[in-house]
Amino acid sequence: MLKAIEKFFEFEKYNTNIKIETLAGLTTFMTMAYIIFVNPAILSKTGMDFGAVMVATCLASAIATFIMGVYARYPFALAPGMGLNAYFTYGVCLGMGIDWRVALGAVFISGVLFVILTLTKIRSWIFNVIPNAIKYGTAVGIGLFIAFIGLKAAGIIVASKATYVTLGNLLNPTTALAMFGILLTAILVSRNVIGGILLGIIITSLIGMILGLSPFPDGIVSLPPSIAPTFMKLDVIGALNLGLLTIVLAFFFVDLFDTLGTLSALASQAGYLDKDGKLPRIEKALMADSTGTVVGSILGTSTVTTYIESASGIAVGGRTGFVAVVVSILFLLSIFFYPLVKAIPEYATASALVIVGALMMKAIKYIDFDDYTEGIPAFITLLTIPLTFSIANGLALGFISYVVLKVFTGKYKEVHWLVYILAGIFALRFIYLGH
């Protein structure tokens, strides 16, 4: 069997072996395993069953990552995307009052769109015609969005009638511990500690349990909770409502930007790009991502996407799809650790939201602020997303302002016809709904 694995994944071609690939898989899993705690904590606020979401998170991640490893044969791992899960909960379900089943239906539709556009090879073309101002502005905006949610969950910022938001009571025990967790996680990440975000969550939780701020887990291992409360509960018909079109587009575009940007970065690091700078088998990699989103919505979780944390496994020598297979197996095993996951308090997961948000700010250096027709739409996008708790609003105002500025400054030829159409769709949404 070992010989068959070595031959299938071409270990000799990539100058690697089973030991290196397994270690790389473990490393990648450690750096992204925080999603097992964070995703159920976020999505359960919509009324979804915590245990079912935890199992759905692990299963969707395992399936999508396995497809990436065996079908595309790349060492990239996938899981429900940070930012999109926050938008699903706070923007769509809590913000717009849309039932989580309908929101899952919107995720499903966006996933089907991915599959169709991947099969027709249109997906990468769409990515190339969308302005960089919108792509990078969205990435930064999502970073601010999830960091804002993390600070709110920690009690570091609270509501205020006078100023809308203000500083919370930093002497509150859970708030103080959350601040400690954020700083601890920042130190671990800055020192390149493998699984720094995960360790930050676990250490903060343990301290909180010792101090009596939250209960210890009932156990470590158990049979997985039932996935029945979320499995096949998506409402696709409800999501086909015209008013939800921009929500579907938001899920679609954010995953599009995120996935292709992440694939490009990982492929460059691993040395996969050909002489023309293109990634071989990119359509297969995109299909793993697309399928993950469709399957995830059926199981009961938000959009599944490729994780930049896969870079950690590549950094220790992982080069083949076997890395992804190892990650997939570890995600499957994780469903048996439900008592541990359930015991993690919200103030402990806040650190992951804040630090991941900070890491997403790197995209701001790619925005051309010297060109106001690029910089201002990017600024509007990145500012509107956290302040309105909506990725869709940020995208809508970003597209509209981009087109308006280009047209009225005589640069209308720089705008692709597809961008005009999308700006028109978003404008009609505001006219139709008023918000």
Tokens matching residue 244 = 């939800």
**Per-residue confidence (pLDDT) for residue 132, from 0 to 100:** 87
Q: Is the pLDDT of residue 272 over 90?
A: no
Give the Cα separation of 346 and 201 in Å (integer): 10
What average pLDDT does the segment 369-374 reach? 96
> Residue 366: which residues within 8 A CB-CB, separation 6 or more?
132, 136
Neighbours of 296 (CB within 10 A): 29
**Per-residue confidence (pLDDT) for residue 189, from 0 to 100:** 92
pLDDT digits (tens, 9 = 90+) for 24-80: 999 999 999 999 999 999 999 999 999 999 999 999 999 999 999 999 999 999 999
Band (244; pLDDT cuts 50, 70, 90): confident
**Per-residue confidence (pLDDT) for residue 158, from 0 to 100:** 94
**Per-residue confidence (pLDDT) for residue 242, from 0 to 100:** 66
Band (280; pLDDT cuts 50, 70, 90): confident
Q: Is the pLDDT of residue 429 over 80?
A: no
The fraction of the chain above a pLDDT of 90, given in percent, is 69
**Per-residue confidence (pLDDT) for residue 234, from 0 to 100:** 96
What average pLDDT does the segment 2-6 reach? 89
**Per-residue confidence (pLDDT) for residue 46, from 0 to 100:** 96
Give the Cα separation of 183 and 177 in Å (integer): 10
The fraction of the chain above a pLDDT of 70, given in percent, is 99
**Per-residue confidence (pLDDT) for residue 433, from 0 to 100:** 64
**Domain locations in the chain as residue ranges:** 8-362
**Per-residue confidence (pLDDT) for residue 415, from 0 to 100:** 93
The DSSP bridge partners found for residue 78 are 306
What average pLDDT does the segment 385-408 reach? 92
Burial class (CB in 10 A: 0-12, 13-18, 19+), 100: buried
Q: Is the pLDDT of residue 435 over 70?
A: no
Tokens matching residue 329 = 């197996």
3-class DSSP string for the chain: CHHHHHHHCCCCCCCCCHHHHHHHHHHHHHHHCHHHHHHHHHHHHHCCCHHHHHHHHHHHHHHHHHHHHHHHCCCCCEEECCCHHHHHHHHHHHHHCCCHHHHHHHHHHHHHHHHHHHHCCCHHHHHHHCCHHHHHHHHHHHHHHHHHHHHHHHCCEEEECCCEEEECCCCCHHHHHHHHHHHHHHHHHHCCCCCHHHHHHHHHHHHHHHCCCCCCCCCCCCCCCCCCCCCCCCCHHHHCCHHHHHHHHHHHHHHHHHHHHHHHHHHHHHCCCCCCCCCCCHHHHHHHHHHHHHHHHHHCCCCEEECCCHHHHHHCCCCCCHHHHHHHHHHHHHHHHHHHHHHCCHHHHHHHHHHHHHHHHHHHHHCCCCCHHHHHHHHHHHHHHHHHCCHHHHHHHHHHHHHHHHHHCCCHHHCCHHHHHHHHHHHHHHHHHCC
Give the Cα separation of 248 and 239 in Å (integer): 8
pLDDT digits (tens, 9 = 90+) for 202-216: 999 999 999 999 999
pLDDT digits (tens, 9 = 90+) for 355-367: 988 988 988 998 9
**Per-residue confidence (pLDDT) for residue 124, from 0 to 100:** 76
**Per-residue confidence (pLDDT) for residue 263, from 0 to 100:** 86
pLDDT digits (tens, 9 = 90+) for 118-148: 888 887 788 778 888 998 999 899 889 989 9
**Per-residue confidence (pLDDT) for residue 130, from 0 to 100:** 87
